[in-house]
Amino acid sequence: MGERIRTSQKPAVIPPKKTCLALSGGGTFGAFQAGLLVGWTEAGTRPAFDSITGVSTGALIAGLTFLGPDYDCELRRVYTTLKTEDIYTKKRGVRSLLSDSLADNTPLAQQIDRILTPATMARLAEEHRKGRRLYVGTTDLDGRRPVIWDVGAIAANNEPGARELIAKVMLASAAIPAFFPPTEIPVEVDGRQLIERHVDGGVSQNVFLRPPQVPPEYRTRPPADFLYGSDLYIIVAGKLYADPHQVKARVVQIASSGVSTLIDAETRVELIRLYTASILAGMNYHLASIPADFQAPTDSTKFDPGEMSRMFEEGRRQALTNTAWRKNPPGTLENEILAQRSSIRLTRVANKGGAGEGEDTPVPENKSGAATGSPAPSNKGGGAAELRVP
């Protein structure tokens, strides 16, 4: 059906092909995105993307990708060698609960400062003037809305404080609310000097698309007239469906798991929305994520070089073997369809298609010894088997 709709949008004159890249947030799982992009370069098929968007960890990767393959070494350094203490330090004591965050992200600010050299700023401006676009998403904490920053335009404008603004935008995009402090960004509204507080872009939209530069003559015409036949590549930092894990009966852990679950669900909705938009614009939809049967860590805030290197190499392997991309959004495969329950008597059904093949493991128990109802990850690290009414 989707292909028929896409074909029906075909214009009389096929426009020049464009390539767009969208990178989601996902903390340490960004190592998969970085590895895929580095492997794509090694395969010799990575496009010079016309438009790149990024959120949170994807924002940093988007910036380095926008600068070109010359910066692949920096992608590898950041996502295979940095440790937790290179990104943040946890605050101690009860006072942290009364402050604006549980951790201090000054080390991350220093990493961003290291990357944003004068040469990097000049390169950002140069690529923007070529017509390429780089967009980063943050969330206005007080305004409760997403904000999209045209990073290339900020660099090209070369106004005083441009470098500092881009650094703040990158830091804000990865500022997990409550875990990291909001980033204060000064703005001028109708001549008034104000301070906005920005946090992780994934809070309001964890992945998004902005089209390439649109010629004036196309701006009032249907998007297919400009984008038909173009490619949309989306790389998710993580799995489409996160592996289950036992949540400790502590308020912080419960809240953290709840927020993560909400963002994961929001991401899948955004991926479906992007699929719909790509059909209406006549674009080719390509989606990559960590495979369901890959044994991935469950904590996206723990920066372990060993685990990150494994995810980096998995992304790189997929790029080199050309096995990274699927053509449909989440929720369209048989093993992704949510089954309803009509009883508390359940049976275990192994997922198919790499999402839980092989061994099943017992349902975890709570302190009373009763089953929690959440399947544990399989011993192979794949997506857990599903519990269904027999």
CATH number, position 221: 3.40.1090.10
Q: What sign does the dihedral 278-279-282-284 (CA atoms) show? A: positive
pTM exceeds 0.85:
yes
Instruction: Please tell me the predicted confidence (pLDDT) of residue 10.
Output: 85
Q: Which residues of 318-353 are buried (b: 16+ CB within 10 A; e: fewer)?
A: bbbeeebbeeebbeebebbeeeeeeeeebebebbee
Rounded to an integer, the average pLDDT of 367-386 is 40
Position 269 in a domain: yes
Name the phi and psi angles at 238, rounded to 5. 135, -170
Instruction: Measure the CA–CA gap between 69 and 275, rounded to whole angstroms.
Output: 28
Place of tokens 């990178």: 23
pLDDT at 94: 65
Residue 236 has pLDDT above 70, yes or no: yes
Q: Could you tell me if residue 190 is left (phi over 0), alpha (psi between -120 and 50 degrees) or otherwise beta?
A: left
Q: Which of 24, 51, 56, 278 is catalytic?
A: 56
For the stretch 108-150, pLDDT in tens is 999 999 999 999 999 999 999 999 999 999 999 999 999 999 9
Rounded (5°) CA angle 113-24-135: 60
- Asked whether residue 362 is domain-assigned, the answer is no
- With a pLDDT cut of 90, the percent of the chain lying above it is 66
Q: Is 300 a catalytic residue?
A: no
Evaluate whether residue 67 is within a structural domain: yes
Beta bridge partners of 147: 138
Predicted local confidence at residue 366, as pLDDT: 40
Q: pLDDT at residue 372 above 50?
A: no
Q: Is residue 357 part of a domain?
A: no
Residue 335 forms part of a structural domain:
no
Residue 352 lies in a domain: no
Which is the catalytic residue, given 200, 225, 243, 293? 200
pLDDT digits (tens, 9 = 90+) for 161-185: 999 999 999 999 999 998 999 999 9
Cα–Cα dist 61/53, whole Å:
10
384 falls within a domain:
no
What integer pLDDT is reported at residue 373 of this predicted model? Answer: 39
Average pLDDT over residues 353-379: 37
Count of structural domains within the chain:
1
Per the prediction, the chain carries an average pLDDT of: 87
Can you give the pLDDT at residue 360? 35
Residue 381: inside a domain? no
Answer yes or no: 200 catalytic. Answer: yes
Lowest mean pLDDT of 190-204, 268-282, 294-308, 331-345, name the range: 331-345
Model pLDDT, residue 389? 54
Flag whether pLDDT at 194 surpasses 90.
Answer: yes
Residues of the domain holding 306: 1-8+18-321
Q: What is the pLDDT of residues 64-85, one digit of tens each?
A: 999 999 999 999 999 999 999 9
Question: For 238-274, what is each residue's pLDDT tens digit?
Answer: 999 988 888 898 887 888 888 888 999 999 999 999 9
Backbone φ and ψ for 178, nearest 5 degrees, come out as 75, -35
HSE-CB at 75 with a 13 A cutoff on CA atoms is: 32
Residue-level pLDDT at 275: 96
Q: Write the DSSP symbol of residue 150.
A: E
pLDDT tens string 302-340 = 999 999 999 999 999 999 999 999 999 999 988 888 888
Place of tokens 């438009």: 51
